[in-house]
Structure 1
Amino acid sequence: MKTILWATLSANGNYAQSSPENPPKKEAFDDFVKHARAAGNLIVGRRTFEGMLGSGGVVGGPFTGLDIVVVSKNAEEFPGVTVARSPQEALNYLQQKGHQTALIGAGADLHNAFLGQGLVDELIFNVAPVLEGKGYNLLIDKENYQYKDVQLLNFMPLGGGVVQMHYAIAH
């Protein structure tokens, strides 16, 4: 199964943070929905999922009908979604359901968990035309300096100043 990590980055390279005061760029959000619908699933962390619920983005929204997996060690059950205790458990569940691709659209902590465990095949970064003073970074290893080669598969403007870069990770 191919695993794709999807994230929006700020123009200065931080993991872009969104909130009601700073919503995601429409072009980036529309692209996220397109990729989730194409995969038929979405893996998120508990905080991201709760944010989606709070904005009405799951029930009756663009993610209706998708296999949604919330990865959390201590989350209670959510109606209509599956809770997995680890990244690997989330991937195992989606593979058992017959999915060919898994889309990780989580927060920085969960993205870093997937990257750190070597569970990501491709990266889709949408770079938004914003600068952030304080932000999170995507890391393949929190302890050491490591490098992984990536291969640029595609890049394109999405509109509104958002540019997408699509990479494959060398394994």
Structure 2
Amino acid sequence: MKTLLWATLSANGNYAQSGPGNPPKPEALADFAAQAAAAGNFIAGRRTFEAMRGNGGAGGPFAALDIVVVSRNAGELPGATVVRSPEEALAYLAERGHETALIGGGAEIHNAFLGAGLADEAVFNVAPVLEGKGLNLLIDTEHYACKQVRLLDCKPLGGGVVQLRYGIERE
């Protein structure tokens, strides 16, 4: 199964933190909705899913999708299937007939998929904002690690948002 890791980053490389003073860029949200519709699914962590659900995100354009939440301790979540690991999430989507899995957020889930060598591509929407505080993608928290990627595509989405798509070699 092909896996796409999708994230919006600030111009200085942190995960873009959205909130009342810094709402998500509509161009990035539209791209996520399009990517999720094309895949027919998305995978998120519990906190990301709950934030989306709080904004009406689990319904609307996502109502017909297979939504998978990876959480070690979450119980049942209406509108989603809860699994305990990235491997279990991919197995569930494969059983449902999906050929592509969209890993939509957040940092812990992205790092879990990268750390397990389960990401084929990374789609980064770079927002025109600099943030002094934020989360990062980490492929190894114990040692300095470098993982080579190859640029597959680069395009503007509008509103100053630029999308970078990278291929990731699985180990």
For Structure 1 versus Structure 2, the TM-score category normalised by the shorter chain is over 0.9
> Alpha carbon RMSD of aligned pairs, Å?
0.9
For residues 21-36 of structure 1, what are the structure 2 equivalents within 5 Å?
A: 21-36=21-36
In 1, Cα distance between the equivalents of 2:21 and 2:55? 12
Aligned to 1:93: 92
* Aligned residues with identical type, % of pairs: 69
Structure 1 residue 139 displacement after superposition:
1.0
SS in 2 for 1:69: strand
1:16 partner letter: A
Structure 1 residue 58 displacement after superposition:
1.3
In 2, Cα distance between the equivalents of 1:148 and 1:36? 26
Deviation sequence 1:55-85 (CA, Å, 0-9, x none)? 11112x1211000001101101012310000
Unaligned regions of 5+ residues in structure 2, if any?
none
How many residues are aligned here?
A: 170
Aligned to 1:142: 141
1:26 partner letter: P
Deviation sequence 1:128-148 (CA, Å, 0-9, x none)? 000101111101111111111
TM-score by length of 1: 0.97
2:36 partner letter: A
For residues 11-160 of structure 1, what are the structure 2 equivalents within 5 Å?
A: 11-59=11-59, 61-160=60-159
Structure 1 residue 52 displacement after superposition:
0.8
2:15 partner letter: Y
